[in-house]
Amino acid sequence: MKAKTQPTDKPVTQKSLFFWAFHNNLKWQLLLLLLIAIMVIARVIPLEMQKRIVNEAIVLKLFDQLLLYCTIYLLAVTVTGASKLCVNFLQARIGERAMFSMRKELYSHIISLPLLFFRNTQPGVVVASLMTELASAGTFAGMALAAPVSNILTLLAFAGYLLWLHPQLALSILAIYPIVVILVPYLQKKANRLNKKRVDQSRLVASQITESITGIHEINVHGASSVEKQKFNQLIERLRSIRLKWSLFRFGIKSVNNYFVNLGPFIVFIFGGYLVMNGQLALGSMVAFLSAQEKLYDPWKELIEFYQVYQDASVRYQRTMKSFDVPPVPLLTGDGKDSVSIDGALELSDVGYTIAEGKALLQQVSFSLQPGQHLALVGFSGSGKSTLVQCIAKMFDYTSGSIQLDGIEIKNMQKDELIGHMGYISQNPFIFSGSVIDNLLYAHRSAHINYSIEKETYHPPSLDHLILSLQQAGFFVDVIRFGLETVYEHSPTAVTSKIITMRENFKNNFGSTLECYIEFYDYNAYLQYSNILENLTFSVSRDPENTINALFTHTFFIDFLSKHNLISPLLTLGTQIAKQSVEYYLTPGNKEKATLATPIAVGNASKYASLFSRLDTTPNYELSHEEQCLLLKPALLYKAGIQSSFSMPPGLTTSILAARSYWTQLSDKEYTRLLTPLKNDEPLQGQSVFNNILFGKMKTDESLPNEKVNQAIIRLLIEEDCLEDVAEAGMQYNVGNMGDNLSGGQRQKLAIARVLLKKPKVILMDEATSALDNTSQARIQRLIERWKGERTVIAVVHRLDTIKHFDAVGVMKSGKMVEYGTYEELMGCKGGLYELVTGKKAQE
């Protein structure tokens, strides 16, 4: 095995703040210096022009000279403005480049830190450090050269010009600034101490917010919102107090600076005026003095602001880098991966793991496995089973003993040498935001990506290998279902071209056997599992409630209902539904149960209650258009086959079927685009592939009928050679934020599939099937049994009825392996395993 070379670059946490200002920015900094030189020269010229305009052009009444000096003045001001704009843009560019580099390198460093670091570090601290704390450092990096150089040169240029005009007056003005240079840093030191406290307290607040949001389910279920509010209020109260004191010193620095700067005009007026009156200073020179003194304030102000930005950025930067100044776990080295042959032999000798607090989590654990052997780890909670597996996976560095893979010490192996040959599946697998395929390829990509100086290359496995891993993990049917839920317009071309064929074959081949589960669309029949609007229009809508709201905005729709004598029976039905729903919701205890099948949502009950109150108290009350629509809506959403608590008025079904033919003649109306007409020989636009093939409504949501329907559709997909296309579409399904769109079992099956895809020689399973149902667990158990002789398996097992088929069983207790042997041997000894399996006290 070839030894890996470690990078010699200084760690990102030990790089100075000034490093980023010049890192990859040298040419831009040189360009800045050139622009600054031009800007400084251009800023001095107007002072001289002011003096000449007054002393020469105006006093001597020379209009040509006036035009010349004014033109030069205007050009100088224009050049100053343009160069200042360029300087500011380049500062921003350098700052953004520096911030990008800082965030990229620090993030790369953070995700390579050992897991132990994250036990004591909240995610909020990491987020705040990367996104907030480094922002001021990036701003400073852009200013690091330009701000001090431009402002110091400007001060020197103005000071030199003033000394040239009149040394005594110039020195009297410049004498103010040494006082400020002494006083401002003194105040800044106090502000810095408070700023450090502010940064630390802000991190605590960010951590508290992250912890609360992450644990929102626990807060909700325990009703602990008041406890969390109190903790948060205490933290932000402390932060408020610190920020107020910090702001006082910040504003105090500006006030002191402004006070001394404003003494300049006073000196010019009192001393300069005296000199002018005694003929020792020309009037134009005094005007230039006034202007220069005023302009002296700008660079001085910017220097003070730069100093404050530096102090703030320095505090934040040092605090941030110190927080993450931890040696990283050796990861990818950038020179490609070695091709190492691993058989899967594992040998542990006196392995121990002691954390920083001195607590020993593992003690003298020893055993050996030949390639392809399987070991089940059992024991009570806290016995060290998971910790042992995580040490083998090199998630934690064991502190004593030896773990060898094919005779090579794991501690001395680079992480990238290990990940291609070892797979780890946890009890609570993490699913990343993105698609199924993104998560499926996650482990395989990490194990097979090749790095070079210029780029990284990755060759994903074939579709057959992807499907095989999904099938082995029992996730393939879920992926097919995701593919079938793809909207028709976004489905693969091969599927869209065969939709009508599969629809016809589905009804011909499976219609008679599945009609007890499906109500197929029939133009001549009333559809019990479709709502009244869909029956009336013989169409489907993706959002029926909003479709009805849109139709109510067209007077023609109400006229259509009236023309076919549907208003009265629909109002009767809507009133019946609304009254029973309001009565149910207002009955104590029922609102929480919400077992009544009704098209009216709980939140809308108050609207109907208010309407009925007006109807009961006002004789001959006439419904307004809005009130009429309010009662028509639940009627139009009513599904007779599902909402059986309500009954349709006599003759309404017949009237709806009679009006249906008239509605279909209006298909050229613009508002009918809200609905997709049901036509046997046309696809349903805006509907899923599943609904297009089914061309009907499921009568139940029970698992067995749905499974039978899915199996029938899968058979059709196979016959039409579309199964792989649907699977590919299903792999694009968005799993949501951290897999929120997946069930617990689906997340675990996806985690198993992504490990199986890279075909590791050693598989570590930390209660990897705990979230699966019995059928799925049995499937994974059969798969594990087929791995015997091919892959070495160490499984932390929670179901003891599955360990009989393992080659060996290890019983853990208090961080030690107290028993090791075959299932029959350990049960015969009637020790720790016997106690776990039978619940009877082990023999002493």
List pLDDT tens digits, range 739-796: 889 888 888 889 889 888 888 889 998 887 776 777 778 888 888 888 888 889 999 9
For 769, the 3-state DSSP assignment is coil
pLDDT for 141: 85
pTM as predicted: 0.72
Question: What number of residues does the chain have?
Answer: 844
pLDDT for 108: 85
Q: Higher model confidence: residue 586 or residue 656?
A: 656
Q: Residue 839, exposed/middle/buried by CB under 10 A (0-12, 13-18, 19+)?
A: exposed
Q: Are 838 and 826 in contact (CB under 8 A)?
A: no
Angstrom CA distances, 293 to 56, 169, 220, 264, 644, stand at 22, 11, 63, 6, 88
- Helices 146-165 & 134-143, crossing angle to 10 degrees? 40
**pLDDT band at residue 721, thresholds of 50, 70 and 90?**
very high
Q: Has residue 220 got a pLDDT over 80?
A: no
Express each pLDDT in 224-275 by its tens digit. Answer: 677 778 878 888 888 888 888 888 887 877 777 667 666 666 766 666 677 7
Q: Has residue 2 got a pLDDT over 50?
A: no
Please compute the mean of the pLDDT values over residues 338-366 and round it to a whole number.
84
pLDDT for 533: 93
Residue 154 sits at the vertex; the CA angle it makes with 150 and 160, to the nearest 5 degrees, is 145
- Residues near 668 by beta carbon (within 8 Å), at least 6 away in sequence: none
The two structure tokens encoding residue 564: 């076919």
Q: Has residue 447 got a pLDDT over 80?
A: no
pLDDT for 443: 84
**pLDDT band at residue 587, thresholds of 50, 70 and 90?**
confident
Q: Higher model confidence: residue 770 or residue 646?
A: 646
Q: Has residue 594 got a pLDDT over 60?
A: no
**pLDDT band at residue 452, thresholds of 50, 70 and 90?**
very low
Average pLDDT, the chain: 83
Q: Has residue 484 got a pLDDT over 90?
A: yes
- In 3D, which of 151, 144, 150, 148 has the Cα closest to residue 97? 144
Express each pLDDT in 83-98 by its tens digit. Answer: 888 888 888 888 888 8
CA 836 to chain centre: 42
**pLDDT band at residue 595, thresholds of 50, 70 and 90?**
low
Q: Which ranges of 129-281 does DSSP label H, i.e. alpha helix?
A: 134-143, 146-165, 167-174, 176-214, 216-222, 225-261, 263-267, 273-277
pLDDT for 250: 77
Residue 831's φ and ψ, nearest 5 degrees, are: -105, -135
pLDDT for 11: 85
Distance, CA of 486 to CA of 755 (rounded, Å): 26
pLDDT for 695: 93
Q: How many CA atoms lie within 13 A of 791 on its CB side?
A: 22
Q: Name the least confident of 212-221, 300-309, 526-535.
A: 212-221
From start to end of 311-415, where are the E strands?
346-354, 360-369, 374-379, 400-405, 408-409
pLDDT for 667: 56
Residue 594's φ and ψ, nearest 5 degrees, are: 50, 50
Please compute the mean of the pLDDT values over residues 69-95 and round it to a whole number.
86
Q: Are 455 and 334 in contact (CB under 8 A)?
A: no
Q: Has residue 333 got a pLDDT over 50?
A: no
Q: Has residue 453 got a pLDDT over 60?
A: no
Please compute the mean of the pLDDT values over residues 272-291 and round it to a whole number.
69
The two structure tokens encoding residue 626: 């809005």
Distance, CA of 194 to CA of 202 (rounded, Å): 12
pLDDT for 26: 82
- Residues near 533 by beta carbon (within 8 Å), at least 6 away in sequence: 541, 544, 547, 548, 551, 636, 637, 675
Q: Name the least confident of 59-68, 70-79, 458-467, 617-626.
A: 59-68
Please compute the mean of the pLDDT values over residues 703-720 and round it to a whole number.
89
- Residues near 726 by beta carbon (within 8 Å), at least 6 away in sequence: 480, 483, 484, 486, 491, 492, 495, 689, 717
In Å, the largest CA–CA distance within the chain is 121
Helix, strand, coil share (%) of the chain residues, nearest 5: 65, 10, 30
**pLDDT band at residue 668, thresholds of 50, 70 and 90?**
low
Q: Residue 430, exposed/middle/buried by CB under 10 A (0-12, 13-18, 19+)?
A: exposed
322-331, 440-449, 817-826, range with greatest mean pLDDT: 817-826
Express each pLDDT in 421-439 by its tens digit. Answer: 888 888 888 888 889 999 9
Please compute the mean of the pLDDT values over residues 156-172 and round it to a whole number.
73
Q: Are 510 and 712 in contact (CB under 8 A)?
A: yes
* CA end-to-end span of the chain: 47
Distance, CA of 834 to CA of 155 (rounded, Å): 87
pLDDT for 294: 65
Helix (H) / strand (E) element for 343: namely none
Q: Higher model confidence: residue 819 or residue 136?
A: 819
Question: What is the percentage of the chain residues whose pLDDT exceeds 70?
Answer: 88
